[in-house]
Amino acid sequence: MNEYKGGQGEIHTFRPGDLAGEYEAWAKSKGIKTHYGTSEGVMKAWDTRGRGRKIEYKPAKTREEAEKFALDNLIDPKERERVEKWNSGETAHLPPERVQQIKIISYKGIDPKVANEINKNIAKNIELGLPQPSSIIATQMRKTPNVLMSMGTDVSLRINTLSMGNMEKIKKGIQEGKELYHGKGQEMMKELEQNVNSMTPAQKKKFDSLKDAMKYSRDLVGHEIDTTPERMIEATINHEIAHTLAYRGKYGYDTPQHEEFLEGQKRIAEVTLNSDYRYKLSSYGCKAKDTGLFHYPVDKEETFAELYSAYRFHEDDNLHPEALAFFKKYLPER
């Protein structure tokens, strides 16, 4: 059983995964009278816990200020309370000085300008009623240096300091994308075209894969030729939050529309992949990966995340009509 503690020290318990029970326990701990009994009612009431609220965004001057703003305003209060109980020794059943402290916010290695953009976009997502992160941790992803950020179903955001540490690193990534799609990449394809008849079958297969990749308008949503670091950060945050939408929030596991939303999510990914709209979206979300030795099929969750990111930028012309209709039905606010 999990619990919330009231102002007088009283304990209100609930079973993990029971959204209605958790809301009731939380409401009682705050002295709020409630009679919500349906999932719909719980979801409406749950907005008062944090999701869907107005956040007064304040840009920070230092990394520490950015971390404090995120901890006070952006982190899921349930997770913040759980960690506070542990760090204080309450749930660890140890004196605080003997408890291994958990840090749920760390922008170490992240420039304040980048941290501010991340905070601003997460705040906007919370105002739209999207899931709040359970943690925000900056780290060096040496094994996957091309991953800018990652967020799993636990809504824990990890930021790669190697590629997102400061604005200069982000600008470098943007320039590399421009070279691939509009500079040296195009020149290289012209040279390869001239030698296609002398290629071995393996070389021809790789060439065909490269040729198909060049049909895409961009490698990722937010990585257009005229993009900015700010737009790239916003697109990345929206892409990552999309990975959580079928597991947390209004369409999470314990909601009536979960299965319907999940099926729709798969459907719009499939219709996009089976149409020329895939070339308008991005190669990351729509192209299978072929290393020559191994073939990796398209991850439809990545397709969905790219679709949502494009939708948030009002790129309606780049979305398959079914995808646009899906988002307008389930996630009209953007």
* Residue 147 belongs to a domain: yes
- Which residues form the domain of 66? 60-164
Tokens coding 155: 């809504």
Q: Counting every residue, how long is the chain? A: 334
Tens digit of each residue's pLDDT, the chain (334 residues): 667 677 677 887 876 555 566 666 766 776 655 544 444 454 444 444 455 678 989 999 999 999 999 999 999 999 999 999 999 999 989 998 999 999 999 999 999 999 999 999 999 999 999 999 999 999 988 877 778 899 877 889 999 999 999 999 999 888 877 777 666 767 777 777 788 788 888 777 777 777 777 788 888 999 888 899 999 999 999 999 999 998 888 888 888 899 999 999 999 999 999 999 999 999 999 988 765 555 668 899 999 999 999 999 999 999 999 999 999 999 999 9
Q: Of 113, 132, 164, which residue sits at a domain end?
A: 164
Angle at 75 between CA 145 and CA 153, to 5 degrees: 55
**pLDDT for position 136:** 95
Q: Is there a domain that residue 55 lies in?
A: no
- Sequence-ordered list of residues with C-beta below 8 angstroms from that of 333, at least 6 positions apart, any chain: 128, 129
pLDDT score for 36: 43
Q: How far apart are CA 309 and CA 304, in angstroms?
A: 9
SS3 of 137, please?
strand
Q: What kind and span of H or E run contains 71?
A: helix 63-73
Q: Are 68 and 127 found together in one domain?
A: yes
E strands in 45-127: 105-106
Secondary structure E strands in the chain: 2-5, 11-14, 105-106, 135-139, 149-151, 156-160, 289-290, 295-296
Phi–psi pair at 163, nearest 5 degrees: -110, -20
Question: What angle, rounded to 10 degrees, do the helices at 300-312 and 258-273 form?
Answer: 90
Same domain? For 39 and 125 the reply is no
- For the chain, the domain total comes to 3
User: Do residue 212 and residue 317 come from a single domain?
Assistant: yes
In a domain, 229, yes or no: yes
Cα dihedral: 60, 64, 70, 73 (round 10): -80
Q: How far is CA 237 from CA 2, 12, 192, 226, 305, in A?
A: 30, 34, 36, 19, 10
- Write down the pLDDT at residue 203: 78
| Residues 116 and 160 occupy one common structural domain | yes
Local structure of 211: helix, strand or coil? helix
- Tell me the C-alpha to C-alpha distance, in Å, between residue 309 and each of 125, 214, 242, 245: 12, 21, 8, 13
**Within this chain, do residues 226 and 315 fall inside the same structural domain, yes or no?**
yes
Residues 200 and 297 in one domain: yes
Last residue of a domain, one of 148, 164, 180: 164
98 occurs within a structural domain:
yes
Q: Which of 113, 130, 164 is the last residue of a domain?
A: 164
Say how far residue 92 (Cα) sits from the centre of its chain.
Answer: 31
Q: Are residues 86 and 130 in the same domain?
A: yes
Tell me, yes or no, whether 35 and 9 share the same domain: yes
| Same domain, yes or no: 286 and 243 | yes
Please enumerate in sequence order all residues whose Cβ is within 8 A of that of 84, keeping only pairs 6 or more positions apart, or say none.
Answer: none
Report if residue 178 sits inside a domain.
yes
Question: DSSP state, 97?
Answer: G
Supply the pLDDT for residue 293.
57
Cα distances from 7 to residues 33, 301, 308, in angstroms, run 15, 42, 41
Distance from C-alpha of 309 to C-alpha of 222, rounded to nearest angstrom: 8
Looking at residue 100, what is its pLDDT? 92
Q: Are residues 67 and 103 in the same domain?
A: yes
Residue 54 lies in a domain: no
Task: Judge if 30 and 2 occupy the same domain.
Answer: yes
Establish if 322 belongs to a structural domain.
yes
Q: How far apart are CA 178 and CA 14, in angstroms?
A: 52
**111 and 247 housed in the same domain:** no
